[in-house]
Amino acid sequence: MIRKHESLPKSSDLVIIGGGPTGMAAAVAAAKSGLQIVLLDEGEAPGGQIYRDVERSTPTRQKILGSDYTAGEELAAQLRASDACYIPKSTVWNISSDRLIDYSIGGSSYQLQANFVLVATGAVERPSPIVGWTKPGVTNAGALQILLKSAGIVEESAILAGSGPLLWLVGSQMVAAGSPPVAIVETTPGGRIQSALPHIAGALRGYRYLRKGFSLIRKVRSAGVPVYSAASNLRVMGDKEATGLQFSSKGKVHKLSSRNVALHQGVVPNPQITRLLGCEHRWDEMQRCFRPVTNERGLTSVENVYVAGDGAGVLGAVSAALQGRLAALDIAAKLGKIRPERPNRLEAGLKKDGAIRPFLETLYAPAPEFILPADDITVCRCEEITAGAVRSAVQLGALGPNQVKSYLRSGMGPCQGRVCGLVVSAIIAGHRDVSMDECGYFRIRPPLKPLSLEELAGFEPLEKPEP
């Protein structure tokens, strides 16, 4: 059900933030258990990014994007059929520690009191800083997929550069769409297969994913797309716009022409809401990112706040849905709606689905030049701060991301660290030779997205009941 603004709910047993596989699966499971659910989704329609616009997908797009994408249709249909109150186009901009949620729809703000919150805001792409990456024409690889999913638009003659399965997925989809990339420039350093071999048992358990991966690589290569391996020293060519990519591979310097360079170094949890709420986070060396600390049901260190899906740690869409259901059932049991039971099948499903991850994470971990970019590379895109400037600030005594933020403004721009957070922390930790946990991350403050003063002025908070 989509409510009119006058009848927006003021409270709910469970508020889920995010309309991707986690949020959809959790909403359906929770509604089935008899919980009141509100799902706040920034998107126009359910699906998040991975199943973006799946409800209105055309046969042409479905054929290109494949069954891993169309699997989202079923979840979206279940959400629509459920008793969950689905509120699209809503942007959460603040949550208090007692779970009072401030959100914005179409220029007006509203408040909603949640008994439980499930953060299901998924992942963002890892920063991939290279010389010239701020020029028009340079995008994330995920952006090409979103263009295809949401609008049936495919970039022509693109270069895909980076490391990770998404590179091959996007490449094969572009081949299928009749617009193969100019090249795949793989930055995965040589010798990685050997490093990943200790995890081969898990990879074999996840043989379906392995098989799919090989099939994607085969599709791209057999379409005649040149593949460059162990590429390094990437720089975008061009003055006002991207005109191509220069890189070294196997001892030679290559210059490829293209007006679209799509970068990818994997995906990482989107930390804005868990950080805003003050949840405890810990550095995960295997996934090379911070993850919120949770129990096995997704409960964070903050009372009644859960996180599930890629926002808890990147495991992909299938695991995301399983985790969403697990969290929803845990909350339903706490509220006495269902008998607490060990959800053995869900747990077994998670173990199986996640088995291949250590192998993939080791194989495709970013090369050092992306973790610790050279001095002249812009790392904070919003404020145009270079890696060298961050290092100089550390020399001057700015020992953590928040001090560096005060010195340089990195992290103060509109993206609030969504793009640069991890790389700024890594540079500081690297320069000081301390652990990522010791270095920490930007403090995240409301509003999570820009609000006009007009909207804030017109905002009527919920009345607190008289004590």
Partner 1 sequence: MATRIDEAGEGVSFTFEGHRIEARSGDTVASALAAAGQRHLRDSVVSGEPRGHFCMMGTCFDCLLVIDGKPNVQACRTNVRNGMKVRRQKGLESGE
Cα torsion 352, 20, 119, 327: sign: negative
- For residue 264, state whether it binds partner 1 (rule: CB under 8 A): no
User: Which of these segments, 73-81, 154-162, 196-204, 369-377, binds partner 1 (CB under 8 A)?
Assistant: 154-162
Nearer of residues 275 and 418 to partner 1, judged by Cβ: 418
- For residue 414, state whether it binds partner 1 (rule: CB under 8 A): yes
CB of 235 to partner 1, least distance (A): 16
In eight-state DSSP terms, residue 5 is: G
CB of 384 to partner 1, least distance (A): 4
Give φ, ψ of 315 to 5 degrees: -130, -5
Question: Which residue of 147, 210, 217, 318 would you call a contact of partner 1, by CB under 8 A?
Answer: 147
CA 385/CA 327 separation, integer angstroms:
39
**Considering only residues 52-111, where is the footprint of partner 1 by CB under 8 A?**
53, 56, 58, 60-61, 64
Nearer of residues 35 and 424 to partner 1, judged by Cβ: 424
What is the Cβ-side half-sphere exposure of residue 341, based on CA atoms within 13 angstroms? 9
In eight-state DSSP terms, residue 317 is: H
Cα torsion 453, 458, 461, 465: sign: positive
- For residue 208, state whether it binds partner 1 (rule: CB under 8 A): no
Question: Which residue of 8, 9, 44, 399 would you call a contact of partner 1, by CB under 8 A?
Answer: 44
- For residue 237, state whether it binds partner 1 (rule: CB under 8 A): no
Compute the residue count for the chain: 467
Pull the structure tokens for residue 49: 């990014």
Question: Backbone dihedral region of 448: left (phi > 0), alpha (psi from -120 to 50 degrees) or beta?
Answer: alpha
Q: Is 379 helix (H, G, I), strand (E, B) or coil?
A: strand
CA 332/CA 22 separation, integer angstroms:
16
Nearer of residues 219 and 325 to partner 1, judged by Cβ: 219
- For residue 195, state whether it binds partner 1 (rule: CB under 8 A): no
CB of 410 to partner 1, least distance (A): 11
- Footprint of partner 1 on this chain (CB under 8 A)? 42, 44, 49, 53, 56, 58, 60-61, 64, 124-125, 134-140, 142-143, 146-148, 150-157, 177-179, 240-241, 259-260, 270, 381-384, 413-415, 418-419, 450, 452
